[in-house]
Structure 1
């Protein structure tokens, strides 16, 4: 039936297909710095899965190639060079879409020849095979570095992309040394090897010596050979090559022989030992440290190592055993010179151990090398803190008998003194360290001694008086005593004893001290203020005295307090701090002038010039600040005030009299602001003395001209304006260019610096040029570097993008001119005219040689669409391509004289000659003819779906069969109409057409194959048309039908739910049965996923027994049919009777108890209940039980009859086991069945 349907569709859709005839050229150059034969290099276009499409050769003249591409798609452009040749890159991945790909955009796809291959070896000294990896090999030619590589793990190395010649290779490594580091070779046109290998001298042996996982420094490690028969090998590089001494030989283990000793080294700060340049072989390592003051035992005592073609790292370090060492007790560790402390009793871990000698030394023997010990000292006048000492051998190694790194020093040292005073209260003494950070206090009884222990250092001891003592006038002296116990020795006699004071002073005035002097106040440290009365005098004087006595010792502050009325004087000091702790003092207040107050209403800089209006008097200038300023005038009198600034004020001059009240300030209010204009040039220009600038006020519609005056290479000028006025300034010149060409400014009242306008002036540049011989009306284009809004047309000049700036034409004499131009930009000039070529003269950037161009007319008859490639090796033209039309002719115009290479290309055709080499002369019009022969043919066809919809983007392959199996496979891709063209099919061959899936196209995943499969076509001497192929697609949906076998009375209560097995919590679909046992679900995806069908019923489980069944299936068929068996049964009530009996027994027990104790009351009630049960209750129970039994029997018979007569159980089903042993039917029909209706 399917074959008939396909044949039917073929009959109705048969017709001739058409293909897009657009051809896209993919081309570029084979580039090489050396002379190579381009013609032996082939370039091949293949599909993504490796099927060849087209193969061509490079042009022999310049290495250019071009491949025509007939269909859009993904390809690989692959280079096929001769063996041993290397190129970069080796291929290009292309996605030809006809719009944005490199071929459509006519970009060159270039392959660069890199050279040949060169190999060599690196060996180890003493070895004839194998070598180290990681050696850096550098290739040189004529002392010029060319390349660098590293040796492989087997010691071999290779250089690629090497051209023929004489080469030298030099081996290097960051720490290996070489026995032979250089080798030479003469490389020819094939791969070669260096004759002599690079030889490494040896490798490093590295390990560590540790103590409690910490590095151990300055430990000797000795290196021994396992055999003395290797004297011909070189010695490693060691830190010490001294031979073993007698003591060291005696300490050697019996397994090590002294004659096998090689050398020794010593561990560094990281605890590491290193033997460099060690030849390959077997060695033994031995750590050793024994001195009169320290002896260390190591675990293990030795190690055997094997050195191969790499560095050897000893993974397990040497560790320490037991040690013995010295210690020392000193007075303090804070001094550079340590003072020993004798006769200190030393305890270790709480037990007396030893005593220090006269040098403070003690010795600890047989101490474990790991962990810690507790050490403490005891001595009168000192307090020692228990020291928890971690054994650190790095502190002990190399220490002599008279010094050590284990040092004990006292934690605290004794200080004693006495407090002598008349108070009956305890006195507090405090002491602080030298940085005043730590404060300690202690109390001392009056007239008694004290003792305190402090840590070694410098302290300040001082008495701290209570408020009551201060109020009583008590003062202890001295106030402070510096105590230095940093040396570690106890100090005594730090004593304090008890101290009233008098203050005298004078106030000096410039002139007669008037009655408006400020008030004088005395303030104590406690904040108590008292007024000091001045001593009155009868005569005028410029000095007023004062006096205050009976003062408690301490520090005071004496201040001149001004009122608003008398705040008119300036004082050298208005407040003086005085210390009356130890003696009486005399102080002096001195007037320095009279106050002037000014109020400046601007933040700009203002200089105020002050002149006193009398002969030979005071003159001074001062910078004012914004706001209120106070100035001291040295003399009485009238002053003239002149402000100087970038502003004009309301008055040019102001006046001030010192006799007036200073409370009213002089207000300085600016009225106008100065605006500066600057023009700067790069060099001085004596020809220009002034620069006129036009200044416009757009709001007032006014303008004026300002002439700037010359100052070396700068021209300046200024004008005055009011705040917030706006101006536009235009500099003017016929020979200068300005940056910017104009500037706008709004006058600022806040900052004079912003009221400046600056221009940069540059002389204009003029560009003049010509053509030789003269060519009139040639288009001249001037280009410059890219500028904003100047990017309409651009070119690339020496790797720099430049945009079109100006255009012009040559005159009758072939001359042109541009200018004036900015001299800050680079410029480039090009000239064009149809039929001419212009080349720049070497002597001038703007003069050109002109040449009239030639042409080549190509004639190819009997075929159109021939792809032509024209290249040249003697001029700047790289290549041109063209395709012939129905006339068979193509004209290549505007060609310079030189050598050209012309090649026609068209699949299925052979040309005679295959290509042409042409010597073209200037102005020559040459005709070139090619003969053509058809050698292959095409197959045209169409691919559609079964319903005749075109299939786009499918790949159809034509594979040769029979005697043509060796013929190249041809491929084609269907266009938007489903049409395809298979090209270059050989005549006399039979081909099999088959579909090849495209994994990059997700839309093709639904396609299974094409019909008819493996269609055979035979090619004769003409094209083959009207091949129609159809696609067959994989299913996308699955139908689900369900039949429920049960009694009719339960149907409308059942539900069937569909779940995805990965989402059991929520159903995908739910179907409720009505009066039919059949139900249908919406289609689900044909996705090979697992699903669950679940039957659910609302019947009460307390009355019925039934199973809610499940069916699990996979959506891998287009039609799925399932059967459920639902057979509910009534429950048995025996369990309820037993339960009722239990309750009855309990009730009877209660009745018996009640009957025994209350039988007189209960007996009449029992008689009445017996009559009721016998006559009414019992007959009703018997009747109800009979009815229930009859109904259960009838239902059981109905279920059995339904099960036996169901015809649906005879379908092709398989039974699925479930936990309750129910039978569930699952159909296995693979073909789609019609749905069953009621």
Structure 2
């Protein structure tokens, strides 16, 4: 590319002039950098470095306006940003000697090579060759959905097929939500389809291909690949063949299993009578019942066997994006209790103590207890099936409330109900510590040194000790928390005062935890320092001759951060006295379209909308003749008046009724308030011609 010459290269000069100037705070550092940089010789033009964005042969040009060329010096400082012309060419001026880097920024998914060009500018003969970038391709974004869900299976292999040649261009797999992307895809016509081995027992697809065309931008198919469903199986230990599993849920169409038919006479569903089973599976010799192509969603599995009591009596399951083989989740009789204890993040709690106690009122004083293993699971052997048990779990810094089970099985993890939160209240003495967010949680009291511990549920809490308050989010045991009294500054401004000068009688009152008042300065600023966190109402007083968007603001989130309020003036008031209804107009600003106001007879208060400011001229429009049709407002609250000098009177008469004879004019005398008001001559109507 040629060196920059600011005189002949007018188009480039115009392009450079369109660049937005840096903000004023950045000008000084930029000037210092320019002065410190090694410059080209005095009187020399900048060196022009540039090239083209090259496209694959026959490819449609992209929107070059979405790309930018950036020039960096050897210290990594950005020196210049340039657009790309519609033909793909670019050029940047280099004013400094030394090593430079030219980079091309483009939307995500656009694949460019190389990533940058390293340029050594030593004199006017530098940058004599084109520094081209190659736009090699774009990205294809899409997704795979499991039927019944909005997400799809992770790690599903996919292939990108060239529709013209039938060849496989690329392979990829879905992410955790079933989304996929193919990158560096040249323009062309493609098909995305699953890349699974034939006969490998993979899930069946309801939609197994997506056609997509890539032209000059990233592509996204309007549809998704859809998996029909997955296999679900559940077993009964020590039962074998003949047990029945009834599947309840919302999506029945497409599930492959035996229709329920008429259930066994002794079958009693634990679910409400309104719920009907979708289908039924009968266990084979291995004691497992199987369902095929179950769509994603929530289901309930109810077991039945005429010779055994099966526990639990129901099992809630969720089909997501993979086969769900649950193993022997049902047990004959109820002599074994299984479960798992996890922490707040779902991780297993090893060493948690689990104790099963006889129901209250039982004559037995024995209890069955154990500790969880490394996987958080426990297994308790019960001598006989009981109607109910009380479960108590203990673990350091966590609180598990007693739980009761009637089914002798835990189908879900046991999680802690509260967590120990410890800290220190600074300079507040012995006081109770409470949660304002959960008043039912038992309060704790600080020690003499201010330390405290309280058990809180997971989630957001606002802790208070005396006048100290702090918002925290509890997700597990917490230590090192500090509570101290904090005060917040509330600042604000009044915007839109006429002429930039606010009335002297303006003041703001903040009411809530405490009440304080501050005046408003002439430029509209006010400040209320030293406010306690909490909920407040800010009220503006004074300025009665101005119009306001609102005189009251609710402050619901005053915490430990400064707060800024804003009261807005919408105009100023004036008073109009008129002898009759009329329409007023005024121009809110020079060259602006006039605003209009209708006023009724008598005295009317009006509001003249911003940006109108006094002095301001009002113009009146009326069907009557006014003594004066303009009035000037010198200041807010001025009064003006308009009165009619003459009224419009319309007369209509039937010629024969007023005594007129054919061909003779008639004179009418008009009086007002008993005094002559004028004379009118009425001409007779023209005679119609007889045929």
What's the TM-score once normalised by structure 1's chain length? 0.19
Larger-gyration structure (1/2): 1
Q: Quick one: higher RCO (CA 8 Å, sep 6+), 1 or 2? A: 2
- The structure carrying a bigger helix percent of its residues is 1
What's the TM-score once normalised by structure 2's chain length? 0.32
